[in-house]
Structure 1
């Protein structure tokens, strides 16, 4: 993305011939970066959360809260994954204005990032479970 934006700046301000495709490609790359970043954010627990109940709870209650929150989040992301395939399929006939890419390719980041989020969620949940059991 940095290279694409740098090319746009060079061609726009130095060569005075802006490249039309760089703006569109950088937008799609930013979308992918954002979605994939959510999965990474889960692995380092960077997402906002309300930990008041969790911190006040005892060992057994912490485990119940971990299982409950993990189950709800898994259900939510499972729904995103299942429904995104229909959305991607319908979007394959629509093309982007400049690059002429099927928009479904841009949207494939939705299930990919959701799977990444689930994997990282399970890793964090198991880690919290083990830490909760030791306290």
Structure 2
């Protein structure tokens, strides 16, 4: 059951990442073409759209980097420990990270509610959307950390 949920979750994240990669490429390409060819209308929001997509992509991909062990870490101690103590160490470290990220995500949501009246200059998008994307990214990292703890204890 957990494996199926993880597969669906991974598929959804990969689709979101693909969209968040394609949209800035198209947006920036359109911006460049519209500046060089006079028959294409110029829109000033293309750069801002690309910026928001890149911010979203960073926070969504950060969770996947946790899954694949691509985040910054020190593994000198974990390699020297036995399997049992390695599991305990990973659980303690990931639990502390989960607590910190949960607090930051909560505070980000609180800030988004307070600063939600601001809008972005070109898109006129509420800035609370950008702040909520950060909170969602942090929650995705927490989900990946929980998956990491579970998979570490299921290892033989």
- The answer, yes or no, to whether TM exceeds 0.5 is yes
Partner of 1:33: 57
1:13 to 27, 30, 36: 36
Please state whether the residue corresponding to 2:108 is helix, strand or coil. helix
Please state whether the residue corresponding to 1:20 is helix, strand or coil. coil
Partner of 1:56: 80
Give the superposed CA RMSD: 1.5
The higher relative CO (CA closer than 8 Å, separation ≥ 6) is in 1
Unaligned runs of 5+ in 2: 1-23
Greater displacement, 74-83 / 119-128: 119-128
Contact 1:66–1:129 (Cα < 8 Å) also in 2: no
Unaligned runs of 5+ in 1: none
Q: Kindly provide the CA deviation profile for residues 80-110 of structure 1, in whole angstroms up to 9, marking residues without a partner as x.
A: 1211111101221111111111111111111
Moved over 3 A (4+): none
* C-alpha separation in 1, matches of 2:54 and 2:139: 19
Number of residue pairs the alignment of both structures matches = 132
Partner of 1:123: 147
Q: TM-score, structure 2 length as denominator?
A: 0.78
User: Is 2:129 the partner of 1:105?
Assistant: yes
